Amino acid sequence: MKGFTGKMAWTVGGFFASSGLRFILNIILSRLLAPDIMGVMVVVNAVRLGIELLTDVGIEQNIIHHPDGLTRPFRDTAWTMQVMRGVFLSALFALAAPFLAEAYHIDVRIFLLAACSPFLGGLHSTAVFVLVKQMEVRRRNQFEIGSEALAFAVSVALAWSLRSVWAPAMALVASVAIRSALSYLLPEARQSFRHDPEIRRRIVHFGKWIMVTSLVMYAATNLDRLYLGRAVPIALVGIYGIARAIADLPTTLARRLSYQIIFPAIVAARNGEAEGVEHHMARSRLVFVLGVCGALAVGAGIGDWLISLLYDHRYASAGWILGVLLIGGVFAVLSNLNEALLLGVGRPALSSYANAARFVTMALLLPLGLHYGGFPGAVMAIAFVEICQYAYISAGLLRMRLGYWRQDAMALATALIMLGGVCALRSALGLGTSFAPIRGLLP
């Protein structure tokens, strides 16, 4: 596919720009706000994301998947469903706020403020999704970076002036509103309320498995935050959140590549709209997985140094947490890339099954890890679940006779060699390892 490498470069470059903003914001907030405030927002964000994924019928995936996804009737019907869903979810969030406040011992007003975000997010134009279908990668990334830059400025200003939990809570709602407003500056962003029963039926039919996948993926990827928010001190949750935010960056990049590049490219190839896509995608994927998995392994080996360099002493224990999570991140990156193959060939059900298995695995191993290994045991269980998830996605690929098995094997071997090399070098120099503090924390 002509320009495939360029589109991938734009996606990676856009990700690093936006992630750089979030990373810098994370550092600024950690210096202006206490760990317990950061812990509160870890819980609030996890709850918010869960609420927003309820009744998710995959509006974006539907517009990409259906041949007439760009037509005005389809887009307006999809947008109307999106707005109605946002109203419903905000009302549901507000009703649940008192119960959430009691469960997590967080001010109910924080949850009520966060309850505005589903409604505000549901107002954005479907023009954002049109850019993905048309593979306008540059424009999509420019939009995302612009939105995040404005949100960054608002978040810093609020944190500097308020120095309380209200700063990140207000910034959360503001960032959602900014993104929705900016979406109407995109080409063909105009929307009108419309209800076409046939289009609605098609959206729900394709999206039912997207909804299941979204819910079980959310449950599997956020159960740690929700569980730890009740099981350990909130300040420790804030420290864990720092490490998790860094460890999630490569996985988020892989997910963005999956949805912005791999998924639409496979759909285009299946519809006869692109030639040679498999060759270009395989070549670009190989470079990506070798580089990212190798970098993750190095990061795991020097996680404690990274944390001590970027954060103050209050967050020092995030070093060993980051090291463990980055090991799991190697498998998470491969899983996300492979999951896009299942969506691209129209088998979201297999992805849903894999994520359901991941949730069950997390629900079983996380409490066991905390019980027998304390907090380190819980963190190691979280990382191990990523290995299990890779196996679950692989089972679906084997059934469909898909997969880049040789590339994955090379990536895992590279990660193992890099991690072993870094740990051996540190030990030889008498510098210990990122994982040394774990021994003193085990029961």
Whether residue 346 is predicted with pLDDT greater than 80 in this model: the reply is no
CA distance 320 to 239: 11
Residues 395-405: b if buried by 16+ CB within 10 A, e if exposed: ebbeeeebebe
Task: Give the residue numbers spanning the domain of 247.
Answer: 4-436
Whether residue 268 is predicted with pLDDT greater than 70 in this model: the reply is no
Residue 429 lies in a domain: yes
Number of independent structural domains in the chain: 1
Map residue 337 onto helix, strand or coil: helix
Whether residue 278 is predicted with pLDDT greater than 80 in this model: the reply is no
Residue 441 lies in a domain: no
Structural contact between residues 266 and 300, judged by C-beta atoms closer than 8 angstroms? no
Can you tell me the mean pLDDT for 206-215? 72
Whether residue 157 is predicted with pLDDT greater than 90 in this model: the reply is yes
Whether residue 430 is predicted with pLDDT greater than 60 in this model: the reply is yes
> Which residues, other chains included, contact 23 with Cβ-Cβ below 8 Å and sequence gap of 6+?
245, 246, 249
What pLDDT does residue 1 have? 45
Whether residue 349 is predicted with pLDDT greater than 90 in this model: the reply is no
Residue 396 lies in a domain: yes
Q: How far is CA 287 from CA 8, 239, 283, in A?
A: 11, 33, 7
Most confident of 9-18, 170-179, 283-292: 170-179
CA distance 339 to 257: 11
Q: What is the crossing angle of helices 318-344 and 303-310, to 10°?
A: 110
Q: If 0-12 CB within 10 Å is exposed, 13-18 middle and 19+ buried, where does residue 437 land?
A: middle
Q: How far is CA 364 from CA 43, 360, 378, in A?
A: 20, 6, 11
Structural contact between residues 403 and 396, judged by C-beta atoms closer than 8 angstroms? no
Choose between 340 and 79: higher pLDDT.
79
Residue 219 lies in a domain: yes
CA distance 105 to 314: 22
Residue 71 lies in a domain: yes
CA distance 375 to 389: 22
For every residue of 28-72, DSSP letters joined together read: HHHHHS-HHHHHHHHHHHHHHHHHHHTT---HHHHHHHSTTTTSH
Can you tell me the mean pLDDT for 410-419? 95
Residue 442 lies in a domain: no
* pLDDT one-digit tens code per residue, 295-316: 999 999 999 999 998 888 888 8
* pLDDT one-digit tens code per residue, 53-68: 776 777 877 887 777 8
Structural contact between residues 137 and 9, judged by C-beta atoms closer than 8 angstroms? no
What pLDDT does residue 345 have? 67
pTM, 2 dp: 0.77
CA distance 64 to 78: 12
Whether residue 419 is predicted with pLDDT greater than 70 in this model: the reply is yes
Q: Whole-number mean pLDDT of the chain?
A: 85
115's tokens: 């309850």
Could you say which DSSP state residue 333 is in? H
Q: If 0-12 CB within 10 Å is exposed, 13-18 middle and 19+ buried, where does residue 243 land?
A: buried
> Which residues, other chains included, contact 202 with Cβ-Cβ below 8 Å and sequence gap of 6+?
62, 66
Residue 236 lies in a domain: yes
* pLDDT one-digit tens code per residue, 353-389: 888 888 899 999 999 999 999 999 999 999 999 999 9
Could you say which DSSP state residue 260 is in? I
Q: Which of 53-57, 80-84, 248-252, 402-406 has the lowest average pLDDT? A: 53-57
Can you tell me the mean pLDDT for 265-283? 61
**How sure is the predictor about 8, in pLDDT bands with cuts at 50, 70 and 90?**
low
Name the H helices within 108-233. Answer: 108-114, 117-122, 127-133, 137-162, 166-182, 197-231
Whether residue 274 is predicted with pLDDT greater than 60 in this model: the reply is no
Whether residue 421 is predicted with pLDDT greater than 50 in this model: the reply is yes
Whether residue 273 is predicted with pLDDT greater than 90 in this model: the reply is no
Position of tokens 């134009």? 125
Whether residue 4 is predicted with pLDDT greater than 60 in this model: the reply is no
Residue 131 lies in a domain: yes
Can you tell me the mean pLDDT for 210-226? 77
Largest CA distance in the chain: 69
Cβ atoms within 10 Å of 287's Cβ, excluding its own: 12
CA distance 434 to 415: 16
> Which residues, other chains included, contact 126 with Cβ-Cβ below 8 Å and sequence gap of 6+?
59, 63, 75, 78, 79, 82, 191
Whether residue 277 is predicted with pLDDT greater than 60 in this model: the reply is no
What pLDDT does residue 2 have? 47
Q: Where is 81: in which H helix or E strand?
A: helix 72-104
Whether residue 85 is predicted with pLDDT greater than 60 in this model: the reply is yes
Q: How many residues does the chain have?
A: 443
